[in-house]
Amino acid sequence: MLKVLDLFSGIGGFSLGLERTGGFETVAFCEIEPFPRKVLAKHWPGVPIYEDVRNVTAKQLVADGITPNVVTGGFPCQDLSIAGNQKGIGAERSGLWSELCRIIDEVGPEHAIVENVANLLSGPSEQRGGWFGRILRDLASIGYNAEWHCIPASAVGAPHRRDRVWIISYPSSERRTKKGELRHFKHEKRISRSSETHFFADDIKERIQGSKPRSVSGVNAFSWCEDVRRAEDLQGRPDIPEPLFCGSRDGVPYWVDRLEGCGNAVVPNIPELIGYAILEDKASRYAEAAE
């Protein structure tokens, strides 16, 4: 079982998706906003919740008996998003990337999974790719390689696009030698990734086209919106679910909190896909090492 330190946790989308695989267990969260912390405490009772990522250190984690081997984090996007101020990755909010990178360095996990808006790849306007170049340089400086892809929510059947960059990082002792393979230098053997769990390239195209929306969790996710191309297609449909927000009878303040919490959350199906790929790769490496 891989132990997860879930940073910038929000309402727990990363942990929900990873734990669906059966191979991950969240051992600590870090979330600064009060409402998401209440959600985390409800669904993960007993799991510690740190409040400020700037105060999370490997020393403190060890003192608290927390030994993660996976670190996740969707660091703030306000300074990177095209809907935000685009002040850059060194600005006050999105600059918390440096804290995420510091924690990865201190903890030394087997994998780090990072998420942010698609504009991370292309910004800033005066130096295209400069922000993402900073991410890769920072990871390289602490001994980590990375693979990445822009995966939209529609790739897992959601009724909206929601493009997001997903970065999977691992120690530089493992290097991707060619498409579909990893070389693990400890054993000097090549390990093939299963095409069933490979979530890049052709697989993503198939998911966007709608041919694989149900393969995650074994449920018909978002099935009510199949073949819907405009609002008029929903008229008279008896199977439309109750609204997530306006259907709440708990009052306006709670409605606003729910809207913000879900709006900031990752779609859990995508971390689930990534989790399956990581588990498949680990199983392959163990099998190769045993030979």
Question: Which domains occur in the chain, in start order?
Answer: 2-290 (3.40.50.150)
Q: How far is CA 89 from CA 24, 61, 157, in A?
A: 30, 26, 31
Residue 263: pLDDT band by 50, 70, 90 thresholds?
confident
pLDDT at position 234 is 67
Confidence of residue 44 (pLDDT cuts 50, 70, 90): very high
Helix count and strand count (H, E) for the chain: 9, 10
Answer yes or no: is pLDDT of 215 > 70: no
CA angle, 108 as apex, 102 and 113 as ends, to 5°?
A: 75
- The model's pLDDT over 74-102, given as tens digits with 9 standing for 90+, comes to 999 988 988 877 898 999 999 999 999 99
Give me 179's structure tokens: 């498409």
Helices in 113-244 by DSSP H: which ranges?
A: 119-122, 130-141, 201-208
Packing angle, helices 130-141 and 97-107, rounded to 10: 20
As a whole number of angstroms, the distance between CA 78 and CA 75 comes to: 9
Cis peptide before 76 (omega within 30 of 0): no
CA-CA distances (angstroms) from residue 12 to 40, 91, 177?
6, 25, 34
The whole-number pLDDT of residue 84 equals 78
> What is the structure's pLDDT at 163?
92
Catalytic residue positions, numbered: 77
Q: Of residues 75 and 262, which shows the higher confidence score?
A: 75
Indicate if the pLDDT at residue 221 is higher than 90: no
Average pLDDT rounded to a whole number, residues 212-232:
55
Q: Which of 16-30, 72-86, 206-220, 248-262 has the lowest mean pLDDT?
A: 206-220
Query: What mean pLDDT, rounded, does the chain reach?
Result: 80
CA distance 120 to 77: 8
What's the pLDDT score for residue 223? 62
Burial of 110 (0-12, 13-18, 19+ CB in 10 A): middle
| pTM listed for this prediction | 0.77
- Amino acid identity of residue 227, one-letter, is D
Express each pLDDT in 111-148 by its tens digit: 999 999 999 999 898 889 999 999 999 999 999 999 99
Residue with the larger pLDDT of the pair 237 and 100: 100
pLDDT digits (tens, 9 = 90+) for 140-198: 999 999 999 999 988 887 777 889 999 999 999 765 444 444 433 332 222 223 333 33
Structure-model confidence comparison of residues 239 and 201, the more confident one: 239
- The rounded distance, in Å, linking the Cα atoms of 291 and 282 is 15
